[in-house]
Structure 1
Amino acid sequence: MAEPEPEEGRAKDERRWQGRSDAHQSKPQVRKERRHPPQPNQPHGGLPHDDRRFMETRSCTEAEQSLPEIIVAGKYRLLKRIGNGSFGELFQAESLKYHEKVAIKLESSTVKYPLLPREARIYGILQGGLGIPHVRHFATEGAYNVMVMDLLGPTLEDLLNLCSRSFSMKTTLVLADQILARVELLHRKCFIHRDIKPDNFLMGLNRHQTQVYMIDFGLAKKFYSLRSQKHIGYTENRDLVGTARYASVRAHYAEQSRRDDLESVGYLLLYFQRGRLPWQGIRAQSQAQKYEKIAEYKSNIPLQQLCSGLPIEFFMYLKYCRKLHFAEKPDYVYLQQLFKVLFRNQYKLADFLFDWVVLKRGSEEQQAEQKGTERGRGGKRHRLVQKERHRSKDKGRNCYTQRDRKKSGENLPEIEPNECTNEVAPNEDQPRKKNDKACSCSYHLQKMRLQDRDKMAPLMTERRILAEEQEQEQPESHQMPPCL
C-alpha cells in the first residue's frame, strides 16, 4: 500500500482549505495591521518555531505541565519545551555525560498518520548538506517517536523583530544567496519544501552563527522519481499546502513544483525589506474565502507595483519564477547571480556582519562605555580619598600638635595675624623647647636613636682605649722555673 501524502488525513491543518465556490469576487478588503514593537531575542536556541503551523497559544496550566519523564536514547534528558503542536512537540535537552545541548522532537506513536518518521528519512537523505541540521538519533521509544538533532539559533522571524521589522539591503542579499543555495540542495535531492517562510530558516550557533539552516520538512514532497525518471504530473483543483502569506499564486489551486518554492523565496525577500506583504490583513468570513482573496490579490497586483522602490533585480527574479513551466528546471546560477551582481554594484563588503550582529556590538560598546565612565568616576573618587589620607598623614608628622597640647593640659599659643603659619619640614633641625614633649612618630624616634648613638660613640671609644692601656701596664705574672 502506497504511503499517504503528508497532507492527507489532516483536516485540522490550518493551512489547508476546502472549496472555493462561496468565495466573493469583489476586491479584497485590506486592513492595516498594528505593528507591535520588536521583542528582544529570546535565548531559546534550537528550533523554537518548528511546526508553528500547528502551534496555539498555550495557557499557564499547559506551560506548567511536567516534562515527559523519559531518557531519550539512554543519554539525553529533557530540559524545557520550546515548541508545541497537534502532532509533535519540540524540547531542548542535554546529554547526561558531556552536558551538550540538543533539540529533541517528540511525536505520539499512536497517531494515525505519523509524520516524524518521514521527516527523519528526508533529513537522512539531505545529511551532510551545507545548512542542513544533523540528525543524531531517531527511534520509537515507548509511546513516542523521537528525533534528536542539532540545537540551532534564532529564526529569521525573531531576528526581523529584533531589527525593527526591516533588514538592510546588505543583510537581505547575503540571506538571499544562502537561502537559494539551501533550496537548490533540496531540489537536487528531488524534493520540494512547500513551506518556505522565515520561521523555517534559522541561524547556527557558535562557529556556525553566520550560516543559515533550513528545517521543517514535514510538508516536503518528492517531485521526481529517479527510478522511473519521471516528473510528477500537473493537476489543478488542489488544496493549499503551506503558508498562505508566502505561497506562490499557483499553489492556491494547483500542484506545486520547483518554481513555487522559488517564488516563495521572492516573497520572503520582499518581506525582509518591508516588514510586511501587501496581502497581509485581508478580512474574510471563513478561512477558505480568506485564502481565495489572497490568491486573487497576488494574481492581480502588477510585479512593478509589488517591487516598487526596490532594485530591478527583485522584479527580474519574480518575473523569471512566474514564467517557468511546471516541470522546467530553474536556472539557479542565474537567480543567484542577480543578487550577487547587485551586492557587488552597491560596494558591499562580504564580512557577514548582519544587522543583528551590528546591533549587538553597538549595545555591548555602549555598555562598555557606561562601565568605563563609572569606573573613571570611581577612580577619581579613590584618588581624592587617597590624597586626603596623605594630607592627614603629613599633618600628623608635626611634633607638637594641638591634640598633644590639649592632652598635656598646656595652653594653645596664640597666633598673631602677621606671624607666618607655614609648617616646618620634619627634616629641618629646630631647637626644641625645654618643656616640649618628644614626638612618637617613626621619623623622630629614628632621629633620637641616631643622636644617642652619636653621643655614645666617643664614650665607647674612650672605654676601649682605656681597657687596652690597662692591659699593657699590667705586669707579667711570675713564672716558676721549670723543674730540673
Structure 2
Amino acid sequence: MIYSAVGLGASGFWSCRFQFSQISQACSWPCNAKASGKAKVPPSLNNGQIQIQKKLGAGCFGEVYRGFHSGTKEDVAIKFEALQNQSLQLRHEGEMLNLLRLPTQPQGFAKFFYFGQEGNFNCLAMEFLGKSLEDHVQLCSGRFTSKTACLVAQQVLVRIEYLHSRGVVHRDIKPENFMFGVGSKVHHLYLIDFGLSKRYWDKKHVLSTQKLSLTGTARYASLNAHRGFEQSRRDDLEAIGHMLMYFLRSSLPWSGLEARTKKEKYQKIKEKKESTELSDLCAGHPEAFQAYLEYARNLGFKDRPDYVMLRKLFANLRAKIERDEGRPIQDCDFEWLEGKQLGELEPLLPYDNLGQPDDEQAATERPRGLCCLCGGSQAVVCRVLCQPAFPCRQTRFGMTCGTCISVRWEPLRMGLSLQKPTSRCPGTQNGRFGRRMHPCGHPRFGGDTGGNHRPTPMTMTATIRTTTADPTTMSAASMTTTSINASITNAECNWGFTHPGLK
C-alpha cells in the first residue's frame, strides 16, 4: 500500500497485511470498518482528471488502486474508504496532507492531489511511492549497517522536524510509515500515514493528560505513551530512536513477547522497555544512537526539542564513517542501491532551520538564557528555569540554547564533545552541574538585540539553584533557591566563568 495508517493494537486498531507488486504494507483502519463489499469503485475521480488503472490491494479499511493524473502526468495511489465506516480516518489524513503542502510542497511528504466523495466512497489520491523501510530491512537480511541507519536517521529527523513545525505530532512512528520515492527520488525518504496524527499546538501547547489508551505501534511507542500520557514531540523522537535500534539489531528486547490478551501483551512490552537499560539496548553500536535516545527520554512534555543538535549527532557519525571508509558518503549510498545505475537523481534540498510553534511565544515572554555546559567527555546540559527567548542555534554557545527550554530542572547527559567553561560553576554539587549565570542578548542586560553579545560592565542579581542531594537523582523538591550579587565585566563574571556567548 502506498499511503496507509499504521498497524497497531491499542485504541481498537488491528494490523492487516497485504502485498502487491513489490510493495508490502500494513494498515490500521478500525476493524469494525467495513470493506467495500459489492460496491464498485468509480472509473475516474475529480471529473475525469484521475483515471483508475488497477487494484493494488485491499484491507479492512477498503481498497487501494493505482491511477494516473492526466493534468500533472503523474502516477498516483488512491485509497477508497466506504462511507458506512463508523470511523472515517481518510478525511483526517487528507486534511493533514493538505496542511503539510502549504505554502509549498516540502520534500519527504507525498503530494496531495485530491480528496472527495465519489459514489459510496471517500477517495484520497496522493503521490505514488516505492518500498518502505520495513521492506528494505527485510531485503537486507533483517538489519541495516551503521552507515545506512545513519543516512536514514538524518532524513527521518528532517521529516519529523518539519511535521512538528506545523504543530502536528505523528503518534505512529514505525518502519512501514517511511517510504522511498521512485525514479529520480528513489533515495528520498517520505513520512506517510497521518491517520493517527494530532495537533499538539493550537495557540498554545496542549495540556498533558493521563489514563489514555496506547496510540501507535507498541513495539516502537515511547514509554510515556505506554503509561497513558498524551503524546507530544518527545514521543515521536523516542519512537524514532526505538526504530533506529530495530534497524541495527534486527529485533528489540520486547519483540515477540507472548500473552493471552492484547492488554497483557502491552503491559509486558511496557515492563520490558522500562527495565532495559539504554546501555544494553545500544551496546555494540555507535554512541550517537544511545545519546539520541537518552536525550529523547529526558525531554519534558512541552519541551522544544533541539533538532539541530540531534541532526549534528548523526552528521558527526556520518563524518566518522567517511573517515573510516576513506571516501565521502552520498545521500543515495543506501546498501540496496549500491552498484545500481540510478541515472540523474533529484538532490535533497539544503536544510533550512525551521521554527517551532512555541518559538514566537518564548521570544515574547523571556530574554535568552545561558546554557551552561560542565562535566567530562559526556557533557551535562542543565535545563534552567528560564526559557530562552528563541533557540539561537548558534555554534558560539557551544550548543544550542534550545536545550535549556524547560519549566523543570533536569540534567541531560549527551554523548558530545563540548567546550568546557573556564572554571567550575558555583553553587553546585561537586561542580558537576552548571547553573544559570546571567541572561544575554537582551538590551536590559547590557547586550544588544543583534546577537553580537557585547555587554557593558554591569552588576546584577543572578539566581542559582543549589542542592545537597546526589545531582544524578536530584529533584525539584530537594533544591533551594539562592540569590547572590554578581559583578559582570565584559565577557567574564566574578566567578571566573566565561560565557560562551560573550566571546
Question: Partners in 2 of 1:255 and 1:325 — Cα distance?
Answer: 12
Question: Partners in 2 of 1:69 and 1:124 — Cα distance?
Answer: 23
Change (3 A) 1:110 1:70: farther
Question: Partners in 1 of 2:188 and 2:68 — Cα distance?
Answer: 23
235, 241, 246: which is aligned to 2:220?
246
Name the one with the larger strand percent: 2
1:71 aligns with 44
- Residue 270 in 1 paired to residue 249 in 2? no
1:188 aligns with 165
1:131 aligns with 108
Question: Partners in 2 of 1:236 and 1:75 — Cα distance?
Answer: 46
2:269 aligns with 294
| 1:138-174, Cα deviation, whole Å (9 max, x unpaired) | 1111211111111011111111111111111111111
How many residues are matched?
320
8 Å contact from structure 1 (residues 50, 83) kept in 2: no
1:236 aligns with 210
Q: CA RMSD in A?
A: 2.9
Question: Partners in 2 of 1:316 and 1:326 — Cα distance?
Answer: 19
Question: Partners in 1 of 2:40 and 2:142 — Cα distance?
Answer: 34
- C-alpha displacement at 1:350, in angstroms? 2.5
Rg (Cα) greater in structure: 1
Change (3 A) 1:103 1:113: same
Change (3 A) 1:280 1:171: same
| 1:12-53, Cα deviation, whole Å (9 max, x unpaired) | 4138xxxxxxxxxxxxxxxxxxxxxxxxx97446xx526256
Change (3 A) 1:98 1:187: closer
Mapping of residues 146-295 of structure 1, within 5 Å: 146-226=123-203, 230-252=204-226, 253-295=228-270
- Residue 122 in 1 paired to residue 96 in 2? yes
- Residue 340 in 1 paired to residue 315 in 2? yes
Question: Partners in 2 of 1:241 and 1:176 — Cα distance?
Answer: 23
Question: Partners in 1 of 2:30 and 2:89 — Cα distance?
Answer: 13
Question: Partners in 2 of 1:215 and 1:44 — Cα distance?
Answer: 18
- C-alpha displacement at 1:340, in angstroms? 0.7
Greater relative contact order (Cα < 8 A, sep 6+): 1
Extract unaligned runs of 5+ from structure 1: 1-5, 16-40, 57-61, 363-484
- C-alpha displacement at 1:361, in angstroms? 6.5
Question: Partners in 1 of 2:90 and 2:36 — Cα distance?
Answer: 23
| 1:148-201, Cα deviation, whole Å (9 max, x unpaired) | 111011111111111111111111111100000000000000000000000000
Question: Partners in 2 of 1:326 and 1:298 — Cα distance?
Answer: 19
Question: Partners in 2 of 1:63 and 1:116 — Cα distance?
Answer: 14
Change (3 A) 1:67 1:95: farther
- C-alpha displacement at 1:355, in angstroms? 0.7
8 Å contact from structure 1 (residues 55, 85) kept in 2: no
| 1:218-268, Cα deviation, whole Å (9 max, x unpaired) | 000000113xxx211111111000000110111012111100000000011
| 1:109-142, Cα deviation, whole Å (9 max, x unpaired) | 2333321111111111101122111011111112
The 3-state SS of whatever aligns with 1:111 is coil
The 3-state SS of whatever aligns with 2:81 is strand
- Matched to 1:138, the amino acid is F
- Matched to 1:49, the amino acid is Q
Question: Partners in 2 of 1:12 and 1:299 — Cα distance?
Answer: 24
2:13 aligns with 13
- Residue 104 in 1 paired to residue 81 in 2? no
Extract unaligned runs of 5+ from structure 2: 1-5, 343-503
Name the one with the larger helix percent: 1
Question: Partners in 1 of 2:111 and 2:29 — Cα distance?
Answer: 23
- Residue 350 in 1 paired to residue 329 in 2? yes
- Residue 51 in 1 paired to residue 27 in 2? yes
Change (3 A) 1:63 1:241: closer
Worse-superposed segment, 325-334 or 343-352: 343-352
TM-score (norm 1): 0.61
Question: Partners in 2 of 1:97 and 1:239 — Cα distance?
Answer: 43
1:85 aligns with 59
8 Å contact from structure 1 (residues 51, 84) kept in 2: no
Change (3 A) 1:99 1:342: closer
8 Å contact from structure 2 (residues 11, 215) kept in 1: no
8 Å contact from structure 1 (residues 44, 82) kept in 2: no
| 1:386-416, Cα deviation, whole Å (9 max, x unpaired) | xxxxxxxxxxxxxxxxxxxxxxxxxxxxxxx
Worse-superposed segment, 87-96 or 295-304: 87-96
- C-alpha displacement at 1:307, in angstroms? 0.6
Question: Partners in 2 of 1:316 and 1:301 — Cα distance?
Answer: 15
